[in-house]
Amino acid sequence: MLKVLKAGFYTTIQDAGRFHYRNKGVPVSGVMDEISVFKVNSLLENEESAAVLEITMTGPTLIFEKETYMALGGAKMSATLNNLPIQNYKVYMINKGDILSFGRLEKGFRSYLAVKGGFTSKQVLGSRSFYQPITKYNRLTDNDAVPFAVQEDFQPKISEIKVASFLDDSVLEVNKAPEFDILTDKQLEEIFSRTFTVAHENNRMAYQLSETIQAHTISMLTSATIPGTVQLTPAGKLIVLMKDGQTTGGYPRAVQLTDRAICILAQKKGGDIISFKLV
Partner 1 sequence: MNSPKINIKPFGVHSVLIEWPNEVSEIILEKILHFERFLTKEVFTNKEWELVPSYNSLLIINRTKQLDFQKLSSDIHKWYLQLKESPKPDRYLWRLPVSYDLEFGLDLEEVASQLHKTKEEIIALHTGATYTVFGIGFLPGFMYLGGIDKKLEMPRKATPRSRVVKGAVGIAGKQAGIYPQESPGGWNIIGNCAVPIFDASKENPCFVSVGDKIEFYKISKAEHDLCKIEAEVGIYKPEKIKIDA
Site membership for partner 1, residue 253 (CB under 8 A): yes
Q: Which of 165, 166, 258, 269 contacts partner 1 by CB under 8 A? A: 258
> With CB under 8 A, what is the number of residues at the site for partner 1?
36
CA of residue 8 relative to chain centroid, distance: 16
Site for partner 1 in 184-213 (CB under 8 A): none
Q: Which is nearer to partner 1, 99 or 205 (CB)?
A: 205
The window from 73-81, 101-109, 139-147, 250-258 that contacts partner 1 (CB under 8 A) reads: 250-258
115 to 134: interface string for partner 1, x by CB under 8 A = ---------xx-------xx
Q: Which of 85, 157, 217, 221 contacts partner 1 by CB under 8 A? A: 221
Site for partner 1 in 19-58 (CB under 8 A): 19-27
Q: Which is nearer to partner 1, 152 or 181 (CB)?
A: 181
Q: Which of 55, 113, 115, 177 contacts partner 1 by CB under 8 A? A: 177
Site for partner 1 in 62-81 (CB under 8 A): none
Shortest distance, position 246 Cβ to partner 1, whole Å: 5
Q: Which is nearer to partner 1, 87 or 175 (CB)?
A: 175
Residues that bind partner 1 (CB under 8 A): 19-27, 124-125, 133-135, 175-178, 181, 220-224, 226, 228-229, 246-249, 253, 256-259
